[in-house]
Amino acid sequence: MRTIIRNATIVNEGKKFVGSVVIEDEMIQSVLTADDSSQTYENEIDATGLYLFPGVIDDHVHFREPGFDYKADIASESRTAAAGGVTSYMEMPNTNPQTVTLADLNHKFNIARNKSRVNYSFYFGATNDNADLLPQLDPSRVPGVKVFMGSSTGNMLVDREEALYQLFKTSPLLIMAHCEDTDTINHNIKMFRKKYKGQNDFPVRYHSRIRSVEACYKSSSFAVQLAKETGARLHIAHVSTEKELSLFENKPLEQKKITAEAVIAHLMFSTEDYDRLGTKIKCNPSVKTPEDQLALRKALTSGLIDVVATDHAPHLLNEKEGGALKAASGMPMIQFSLVSMLEMVDEGVLPVERVPDLMSHNPARLFHVAQRGFIRPGYYADLVLVEPHADWQVMAGRYYTKCGWTPMDERTFKWRVRRTIVNGKTAYCDGIVVDGIRGKELVFEE
């Protein structure tokens, strides 16, 4: 079937222009700067007044299946992704069972093949003693190896230096690292308990002082040191501090072996938001000061941050009860990542042309995703149409995550996702997730 998207404002590869995109079956056939009325199409989409972006590739999500299906699963969160303009995702290994064996990795792929509404892949999880499995991973199927260099949700801490060195030395794939120093975190907890006379929890506003700047920087700098010593490709997840930005270089992505990811939570929230949102914005690493938030936002255009993702991590609201220690860490964000970035465009944080760089082009380049991430002939038609000046409010019934809440609740956005196209088919349109659409397994080129 041939489809044409007419008269969209196309934002792609550093350019913004009015044009049309022709889709044949799953693929982009052509990108037109002038409308061709001589051709006939089975399906025509009038995109006048709408912006057309390449579909978002989110390199960092937690969809909770298997093991935690009561709060999220691949079907529910992939439909949430589609509603947010995310057409591909790479999911983390801290499920139950953890994705630390080849059998469990293949089990996830089988689930997604039957249930995922958008395109998918899965990280392999490192442990203190599974480095021998890394050479068996298929680099065309697996985006990378996730290393928790600090305890987080799922208790997959790799804390032996010799094990870390071996992982960095032998991994045939990119290493994505969660960097927080556990000894520093435990020391900070001990100091708070001493100050508060043995209390087992503290107000959530202290979370950023427990999972502190020092905890992040100590772990991130050690990861960078290991990568330089071993020659490993290192991608540091959810950079949250200004100090960590000093570890990265401003040069073309193709010339980097050490790269940085920012996530929407740290770009949209700071410690100033705890009074309003409480534990709803508790995450690991913690949101930091307004100064850190500002530095991260500036790094979106300086070249220090390479990729923007979500770290989408659903929990039930009753799991978010408590404070800095007891409340679960993580928040559902994938439906609002693209519109949040476009909100920052309106605020003057970055130009609109930079949005697909950070959310589509660079994830595709970094992970060598085959035929995705760009609006180009011969590429899969993963596309998202977004309406400016929409002025819509987030509220129950307008978000799709299974856990049933979001810290964006009651927020008004000026931009709204109108249509998401996955492999040439409409997966979401004007508030409706289309039944029956299934994504494809991502392929990574060596």
The per-residue pLDDT for range 161-197, each reduced to its tens digit, is 888 999 999 999 999 999 999 999 999 999 999 888 8
What pLDDT score was predicted for residue 341?
A: 98
SS3 of residue 430 by DSSP: coil
Query: Where among 346, 367, 388 does a domain terminate?
Result: 367
pLDDT tens by residue, 21-74: 999 999 999 999 976 667 889 999 999 999 999 999 999 999 999 999 999 999
What is the widest separation between alpha-carbon atoms in the chain?
79
Asked whether the beta carbons of 223 and 149 are under 8 A apart, the reply is yes
Res 153 pLDDT > 60: no
Q: Indicate the residue among 367, 388, 412 that finishes a domain.
A: 367
Residue closest to 144 by CA, chosen among 118, 125, 120: 125
Q: Lowest-confidence range among 8-12, 13-17, 359-363, 393-397?
A: 393-397
Q: How far apart are CA 422 and CA 428, in angstroms?
A: 9
Whether residue 257 has pLDDT greater than 90: yes
8-20 burial, b at 16+ Cβ within 10 Å, e below that, comes to bbbbbeeeeeebb
From residue 146, alpha-carbon distances to 98, 181, 236, 327 in Å are 11, 16, 10, 24
Q: In the numeric block, which tokens belong to residue 293?
A: 């938030």
Mark whether 201 and 214 lie in a shared domain: yes
Residue 341 domain flag: yes
Q: What is the DSSP letter of 69?
A: T
136 SS3 class: helix
Instruction: State how far the alpha carbon of 244 is from the alpha carbons of 239, 240, 249, 433, 435, in Å.
Output: 7, 8, 11, 39, 43
Residue whose pair of structure tokens reads 């680099």 in the numeric block: 139
Question: Which residues have CB under 8 Å from 343's CB, separation 6+?
Answer: 413, 414, 415
Average pLDDT for 150-157: 59
317 & 277 share domain: yes
- Give kind and range of the element (H or E) at residue 28: strand 27-32
Do 316 and 421 fall into the same domain? no
Cβ(393)–Cβ(414) under 8 Å? no
- In the numeric block, which tokens belong to residue 46? 């009038």
Distance, in Å, from the CA atom of 433 to the CA atom of 214, rounded to the nearest integer, reads: 43
**Are 409 and 323 part of one and the same domain?**
no
In contact, 338 and 85? CB cutoff 8 Å: yes
Instruction: Give domain status of residue 382, yes or no.
Output: yes
Cβ proximity of 242 and 292 under 8 Å = yes
Interval 114-129 mean pLDDT = 96
The answer to whether residues 10 and 375 touch, using CB atoms and an 8 Å cutoff, is yes
Last residue of a domain, one of 315, 332, 367: 367
360-398 per-position pLDDT tens digit: 999 999 999 999 999 999 999 999 999 999 999 999 888
Say what percent of the chain tops pLDDT 70.
98
117 and 260 inside one domain:
yes
User: What is the pLDDT, as a whole number, of residue 161?
Assistant: 85
Asked if residue 161 lies in contact with residue 183, where contact means CB atoms within 8 angstroms, the answer is no
Q: How many Å apart are CA 14 and CA 354, to the nearest integer?
A: 7
CATH number at residue 168: 3.20.20.140
Q: What is the mean pLDDT of residues 109-116?
A: 98
The pLDDT value recorded for residue 37 is 66
β strands within 249-352, DSSP E: 258-263, 307-309
Alpha-carbon span 421 to 440, nearest angstrom:
13
Mean pLDDT for 412-420 is 98
Residue 439 belongs to some domain of the structure? no
Is residue 105 included in any domain, yes or no? yes
Do residue 138 and residue 180 come from a single domain? yes
Assigned domain for 342 exists? yes
| Phi-psi sector, 236: left (phi>0), alpha (psi -120 to 50), beta | beta
| Cα–Cα distance for residue pair 67/446, rounded to 1 Å | 32
Residue 443 lies in a domain: no
Query: Which stretch of DSSP H or E encloses residue 222?
Result: helix 213-230
Token reading at 409: 């609740």
How many helices (H) and strands (E) would you count in the chain? Answer: 12, 20
User: How many domains does the chain divide into?
Assistant: 2
* Cα–Cα distance for residue pair 160/177, rounded to 1 Å: 15
Are residues 173 and 46 located together in one domain of the fold?
no
44 with 117, same domain?
no
Rounded Cα gap, residues 269 and 251, in angstroms? 28
**Which two structure tokens, joined as six digits, stand for 217?**
């920087």
Q: What domain range is 389 assigned to? A: 2-52+376-433
Domain identity same for 406 and 269 = no
DSSP 63-130: --TTT-TTT--HHHHHHHHHHTTEEEEEE-S-SSS-S-SHHHHHHHHHHHHHH-SSEEEEPEEP-TT-
- Residue 440 domain-assigned? no
* pLDDT higher than threshold 90 for residue 210: yes
* 445 within a domain of the structure (yes/no): no
| 381 plus 294 within the same structural domain | no
233 in the same domain as 159:
yes
Identity (one letter) of the amino acid at 415?
W
pLDDT digits (tens, 9 = 90+) for 73-88: 999 999 999 999 999 9
Express each pLDDT in 221-240 by its tens digit.
Answer: 999 999 999 999 999 999 99
User: Could you check whether the bond before residue 285 is cis, i.e. omega within 30 degrees of 0?
Assistant: yes
* pLDDT > 80? residue 446: no
pLDDT digits (tens, 9 = 90+) for 326-352: 999 999 999 999 999 999 999 999 999
Work out whether strand 234-236 and strand 175-179 pair parallel, antiparallel, or are unpaired: parallel
Residues 170 and 247 in one domain: yes
Q: For residues 303-320, give the mean pLDDT.
A: 98
Give the number of other Cβ atoms within 10 Å of residue 329's Cβ: 21
Q: What is the pLDDT of residues 320-329, one digit of tens each?
A: 999 999 999 9
Separation CA 39–CA 21 (nearest Å): 13
